[in-house]
């Protein structure tokens, strides 16, 4: 399996907590603070995309390929879409 699975799950849990906090903060925002929240959300999404998806999730690619290969040899669960 993926050797960093626990750390990866913790990262997802932290991202969800951050998003929940941003959602709550945005719900309370009014006036000029809404613009600041827009910027804050943009920074969060950029950070998530670059630091998590590009740098983190991409590390799983070899393990996913290995799992697909193993599934194909078993004749099931093989996903041919890429």
pLDDT of 20: 94
The secondary structure element, H or E, covering residue 15 is: helix 5-28
pLDDT of 76: 58
pTM: 0.64
pLDDT of 81: 54
Nearest to 52 by CA among 1, 68, 71, 4: 4
pLDDT of 13: 95
Q: How far apart are CA 41 and CA 14, in angstroms?
A: 15
Q: Could you report the average pLDDT of every consecutive run of 10 residues in the chain (82 residues)? A: 84 93 90 86 91 82 84 66 53
Distances (CA, A) of 56 to 9, 51, 79: 11, 7, 22
pLDDT of 42: 92
């Amino acid at each position: 399996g993926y050797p960093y699975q626990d750390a990866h799950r913790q990262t997802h849990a932290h991202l969800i907590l951050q998003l929940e906090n941003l959602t709550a903060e945005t719900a309370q925002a009014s006036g000029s603070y809404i613009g600041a929240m827009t910027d804050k959300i943009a920074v969060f999404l950029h950070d998530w995309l670059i630091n998590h998806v590009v740098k983190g999730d991409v590390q799983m690619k070899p393990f996913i390929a290995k799992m697909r290969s193993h599934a194909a040899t078993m004749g099931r669960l093989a996903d041919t879409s890429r």
